[in-house]
Amino acid sequence: MSPEFSAQTKERIKEIISRYPRKEASLLPVLHLAQQELGYISSEAERWVAEMLRIKPIKVREAVTFYTMFYQEKLGKYHIQVCSNLTCSLLESEELIDYLMEKLKIETGQTTPDGKFTLSTVECLGACEEAPCMQINFDYYGNLNKKKIDSILASLK
């Protein structure tokens, strides 16, 4: 039973697998592609990837549960990941996290009922010169304050 991959994604996945000297080495890039399309890594996806890479499904799940960027459940449309590491917390990211929790009416780790936003705290994003920072899906936002956050969220449809 293959997950709902578009033909294009399947082709891209096959192409990526072919560039590696060993099939199984392409696991992380393939999982990224799968997740981009499905929103998370379902168990059908795990089995499908396992078969493509000639490894056992348990090896796929070992990786999915190890790496924080792979999800086993669908998240909101926008995944707001606020850095809570040292520099950002020096620049008061904790206040911003509290602000977001208040604004979205959810706790960290939760998704808004309309499925639009998921809020998480993450470790250092590597953009400390713009602390406090957050990442929404793959986009970085820095030098944050409450006003900026308001306008960023408002711009996300």
Give me the residues that bind another protein (CB under 8 A), please: 19-22, 24-29, 31-32, 43, 53, 55-59, 61-63, 65-70, 84-87, 89-91, 122-131, 135, 138-140
Smallest separation, CB 147 to another protein (Å): 19
Rounded to whole angstroms, the Cα distance separating 44 from 92 reads 41
Smallest separation, CB 81 to another protein (Å): 8
The token duo for 140 is 């970085």
Which residue lies nearer to another protein by CB, 61 or 103?
61
In 70-138, which ranges are E strands? 78-83, 117-122, 134-136
Smallest separation, CB 46 to another protein (Å): 8
In the chain, how long is the greatest CA-to-CA distance? 50
| Whole-number CA gyration radius for the chain | 18
Measure CA 118 to chain center: 10
Which residue lies nearer to another protein by CB, 10 or 61?
61
Which residue lies nearer to another protein by CB, 2 or 150?
2
Which residue lies nearer to another protein by CB, 25 or 150?
25
* Contact call for residues 134 and 146 (beta carbons, < 8 A): no
Tell me, what DSSP letter sits at residue 21? S
Smallest separation, CB 18 to another protein (Å): 11
